[in-house]
Structure 1
Amino acid sequence: MNTAIASAQGYLDGLYKPLPDGQSVQSEDYGLPLRVYFPEYRQWVLLGQGRAGDCIPQCTGASSITPVTASTTTEAYAVSFSSPSKSDALRVTVSLDWAYRPGQFSITLSTPQLNDRSTSAQLWLDDVPLATYSSGSPAVSMTRSFPTAERSLLRSLRYTVRHGTQEAYLYTTSLGDSARADRLAAFLRANGFTPGVDLRATIFGQGRNLPEDLPFLSSGPDNAYADCDHIPAPGTTAYPYTSKVCSLGVDTFLLAGRRDPFLQATQALQTLTNHSDPNSPYPPLVSLGLEGGTPAQTADHLQQVWDALGYGIPACTPLGCDPGRASGLRTFVFGSLETTLGYTYGQVSRQRYADNAAAQA
């Protein structure tokens, strides 16, 4: 387990993304963080932005990325960026070779097309300048190589607030990394969020002062789904992700989520954090529709779900559970619940499930 945690820490640390003004976010994943600056418009367009509202200050269609080829160690994409007056203002083929040299990967830019003759275009890999294209310049290919170990070069320009930046704040706080935690907290506060208000606070040993019904709370100052009420404005180096939960509607999601093992286990952990009692009942409005009204009862139910699949916890809806596939998210939060009950509260029969979940991790 310690080896798995150490590997995960390297992955997470590479996603930490500093912003201007002493702030930071946590990138959503690794990808191809290309962005273009159009000097004559004084505008940045970030790869992955797809709507006019995502751009600074405006754009028409923003950007697109289309797969071209892929092999075991190489891949290529056609990417395009729109200026305020021209869709597809810049188009470039980007090829990546992950085995370019020992310890290095390469990025090759070829067949550039600048279709907006009223501006030039500067192409960047996150904060590293790659190439400048201007009207009348020859279409020249170029290759740049980078150390594979520098993971942050490929951190996504897209970030999340809920379960991303919030969780990174909890993570860095638990590690005692005050420098990163302070920058993440500064971003959250500047955008109307309370640092640490996240469903996973209990996993980091925090959350005692959060509402007991946090997993099912969709309004108020300590609302776990506050990013559905408002999201930060996109910037020149990063832009926010709008959750599918927000598109569906939080209340609709939570109604269906009463059968979701993730929310069930998270509710159990939150109640344990608040009351330190495996048999403490959930608030009446929370327990409606749940398969278990206390942390111990929830664990009993989820153990049956584990036994039915045999190696983990699947995703479940009101129509039933996925019978053939375990969910990492749900398996690991179930493992946290069983570990807490089995090893903190001495419910020995649960230790087997805790150990099996750890083995899956």
Structure 2
Amino acid sequence: MKYLVTGAAGFIGAATSQKLLAAGHVVVGIDNLNDYYDVNLKLARLAHFEDHINFSFIKMDIADRDAMNILFEAEQFDRVIHLAAQAGVRYSIENPHAYADSNLVGHLNVLEGCRHTNVKHLVYASSSSVYGLNEKTPFATHDSVDHPVSLYAATKKANELMAHSYSHLYNLPTTGLRFFTVYGPWGRPDMAPYIFTKKILNGNVIDINNNGDMWRDFTYIDDIVEGVIRSVNVVPTNTPQWKVEDGSPASSSAPYAIYNIGHGSPINLMSFIDSIESELGIEAKKNFRGMQAGDVYKTYADTQDLFEATGYKPEVNIKEGVKNLVSWYKKFYLE
């Protein structure tokens, strides 16, 4: 099959592209290669497969309507995996317009491209951030997600609503994936696992929010990609008997689905830091501080729906995942 992967130079996008190519698919990857974080890291990810016979890369901004229309018409994709977005909770407080451009306008352009070229399935990245003020754990897809605590989360909720409207109006099969705290080799430099590893190695102080009393459902990159690929192969269908009064917000009478992709076992932040310290053989210099704007206390995924639909089950534990992260970081930056 021919796939479009948006955000192909990103953490999840690059890993997903590799998995698709290994399975024999044709992949067109696009990315605007912006400088939100080190462009050299993005280029290094692409270097793994940029010469692959079944891969082509185009530098493109998904917010560019004309360029996106031309791309979809020219390539006629079978399936689209839409992972491009302006990421980061805190950065959405500093630069909200970047989120409107990429996460709202860009997402609309992807939906329009899929609609007009009869793409058979659109799978797109949502986020565990949509659960916002929810305190019931584990977070389940039938829970309300109407109270986001960051603009980033609000744009991801909007993505789900926009996708539903296209599934309903144009019979476009869409699947949204709510990712939970992805980490591992080649990860984003703005995320805590990378920041902690770098600062501990460099002897810098690490900031620990809410005095360490936070919980995250850390999910290894390989497990995330496995969930993405499995979801692509389960295409939602119409369910005429579905009713709003009786159904889950993660399903519909239209060909529409939402799933959580997480490990399903939250780890205390201090335990995660302990794992990094143990792997590095260095004790971190710590600055304990209060909860930061946009943060949530605990994330914890209920992945039962995804398991029932695809058989997805995460396999990589924290010890193995942290070991792989640290090993990659040392090799990439220190050798």
For the superposition of Structure 1 and Structure 2, which TM-score range results when normalised by the shorter chain? under 0.3
Q: Who wins on radius of gyration, i.e. which is larger?
A: 1
Q: Using structure 2 for the length normalisation, give the TM-score.
A: 0.27
**Bigger share in strand:** 1
**Bigger share in helix:** 2
For CA contacts below 8 A with separation 6 or more, give which structure has more relative contact order: 2
